[in-house]
Amino acid sequence: MAQIALPSIDYSVILQLVIVFGAAAVLLIVDLFVATTSKRITALLAFVAAIVALVAGQYGTTGSTLAGAVSYGPMSQLVNIIILAATAVSILLASDALPKQGIERGEAYILMLLASGGMLLLSQGSSVVMLFLGLELLSIALYVLTAIAFPRLSSEEAGLKYLIVGAFGAGFLVFGIALTFGATGYLTLSDIATHIPTSGIERGYFWVGVTMMLIGFGYKVSLVPFHMWTPDVYQGAPTPITAFMSVGSKVAGFVAIVSILQVLGNELMVLRPILIGVSIATMAIGSIVAISQTSIKRMLAYSSISHAGFVMLGVLSGDANGVHAAIFYLAAYTITNLAAFAVVMLLEANDGSDLTIADLAGLWQRHPWLSVVMSLALLSLAGVPPTAGFFAKFLIITAVWQSGLAWLAVAAAVASAIGAFFYVRCMLQMYSGDSESGEQARIPLASMVAIIVVTIAIIVVGLAPWTITSALALAQ
Amino acid sequence: MNQLGIPLLSLLIATPLLGAMVVLLTPRQATSMQRGIATVVSIINLVLAVIVRFSLAPTAGYQLVEQQTWLPAMGLHYAVGVDGISVWLVMLATLMTPLAIFAARHQPAGNQRPFYALLLVLASSLIGAFVATDLLLFYLFFELTLIPTALLIALYGVGERRAAATKFFVYPFVGSVFLLVSIAGLVYVNWQQTGVMTFDSVALSAAIANGTLKIDENLERLLFAGFFIAFAIKTPIWPFHTWMPQAQAATPDDGSVDIAGILVKIGAYGFIRFAIPFFPHASAWAAPAVAILAVISIIYSGIIAFGQRDMKVLLSYATISHLGFVMLGIFSQTAEGMSGAIVTMINSGITTGALFLIVGILARQPGGRIADNFSGAWLSAPRFGSLALVAVFASIGVPGLNGFIGEFLALQGAWISTHIGFTFIVFAVLGIIVSAAYLLRMYRTVFMGEVSVTSAVPEASNSELLVLGLLVVVMLVIGLYPQLILGNMQPTIAGLVQSLTQGATHP
pLDDT digits (tens, 9 = 90+) for A325-382: 999 999 999 999 999 999 999 888 877 778 888 888 888 888 888 999 999 999 999 9
Number of residues in chain A? 476
Nearest CA to CA, how far is A455 from chain B (Å)? 17
Q: Chain A 368-397, CB below 8 Å of chain B: which residues?
A: 379, 382-386, 390, 393-395, 397
Looking only at the bridges linking them, the beta strands covering B63-71 and A63-65 are unpaired
d(CA B431, CA B408): 13
The answer as to whether A104 is a domain residue is yes
Mean pLDDT over A103-121 rounds to 92
CA dihedral over A131, A174, A108, A242, signed as positive or negative: positive
Give residue-wise pLDDT tens across range A282-303.
999 999 999 999 999 999 999 9
Sequence-ordered list of residues with C-beta below 8 angstroms from that of B348, at least 6 positions apart, any chain: B263, B265, B319, B322, B323, B326, B403, B406
Whether residue A401 and residue B71 make contact (CB cut-off 8 A), yes or no, is no
The answer as to whether A9 is a domain residue is no
d(CA A375, CA A372): 5
In A, which residues are within 8 Å of B143 by CB distance?
384-385, 390
Give residue-wise pLDDT tens across range B431-475.
888 888 899 999 988 888 887 776 677 888 888 899 999 999 999
Is B71 in the A-facing interface, judged by CB distances under 8 Å? Answer: yes
Whether residue A432 and residue B162 make contact (CB cut-off 8 A), yes or no, is yes
Whether residue B169 and residue A465 make contact (CB cut-off 8 A), yes or no, is no
ipTM higher than the 0.95 cut: no
In A, which residues are within 8 Å of B225 by CB distance?
none
Is A409 in the B-facing interface, judged by CB distances under 8 Å? Answer: yes
Successive 10-residue mean pLDDT values, chain B, 507 residues: 71 92 87 89 93 84 85 86 90 91 80 89 94 93 92 87 89 92 91 88 87 87 93 90 87 82 85 91 90 92 88 90 91 90 90 90 83 82 90 89 88 86 86 88 87 76 89 91 85 86 72
Is A475 in the B-facing interface, judged by CB distances under 8 Å? Answer: no
Is B158 in the A-facing interface, judged by CB distances under 8 Å? Answer: no
The answer as to whether A2 is a domain residue is no
| Number of CB atoms found within 10 A of residue A30's CB | 15
Identify the pLDDT of residue B507: 59
Give residue-wise pLDDT tens across range B399-415.
888 888 888 899 888 88
d(CA A202, CA A207): 9
Identify the pLDDT of residue B1: 45
Question: Which secondary structure element, helix H or strand E, spans residue B328, and what is its range?
Answer: helix B311-332
d(CA B173, CA B145): 11
Question: Which secondary structure element, helix H or strand E, spans residue B52, and what is its range?
Answer: helix B31-54
In B, which residues are within 8 Å of A414 by CB distance?
177
Check if the beta carbon of residue B120 is closer than 8 Å to that of residue B154. no
Nearest CA to CA, how far is A79 from chain B (Å)? 20
Mean pLDDT over A396-414 rounds to 89
Q: Is A318 helix (H, G, I), strand (E, B) or coil?
A: coil
In B, which residues are within 8 Å of A364 by CB distance?
155
- For residue B211, what is the DSSP state? T
Question: A184-193, A460-469, B333-342, B498-507: which has the minimum mean pLDDT?
Answer: B498-507
Tell me how many domains chain A contains: 1
The reported pTM is 0.93
As a whole number of angstroms, the longest Cα–Cα distance in chain A is 79
Find the domain containing A415 and state its range: 15-474
Question: Which secondary structure element, helix H or strand E, spans residue A323, and what is its range?
Answer: helix A320-347
The answer as to whether A7 is a domain residue is no
Determine phi and psi for B82, rounding to 5 degrees: -125, 155
pLDDT at A441 over 70: no
Number of residues in chain B? 507
Identify the pLDDT of residue A439: 56
pLDDT at A437 over 80: no
In A, which residues are within 8 Å of B157 by CB distance?
432
Residues of chain A with pLDDT > 90: what percent? 62
Mean pLDDT over A121-149 rounds to 93
Give residue-wise pLDDT tens across range B34-63.
889 999 999 999 999 999 888 888 787 888
Sequence-ordered list of residues with C-beta below 8 angstroms from that of B194, at least 6 positions apart, any chain: B207, B212, B213
Mean pLDDT over A300-315 rounds to 94
Nearest CA to CA, how far is B130 from chain A (Å)? 17
Identify the closest residue of chain B to A462 by CA–CA distance: B140
d(CA B83, CA A1): 86
Whether residue A386 and residue B170 make contact (CB cut-off 8 A), yes or no, is no
The answer as to whether A10 is a domain residue is no
Whether residue B181 and residue A417 make contact (CB cut-off 8 A), yes or no, is no
pLDDT at A436 over 70: no
d(CA A165, CA A215): 12
**Out of B166, B177, B180, whose CB is closest to A428?**
B166
**Out of B139, B166, B177, whose CB is closest to A417?**
B177
Check if the beta carbon of residue A251 is closer than 8 Å to that of residue A119. yes
Is A435 in the B-facing interface, judged by CB distances under 8 Å? Answer: no
Check if the beta carbon of residue B381 is closer than 8 Å to that of residue B456. no
Q: Is A438 helix (H, G, I), strand (E, B) or coil?
A: coil
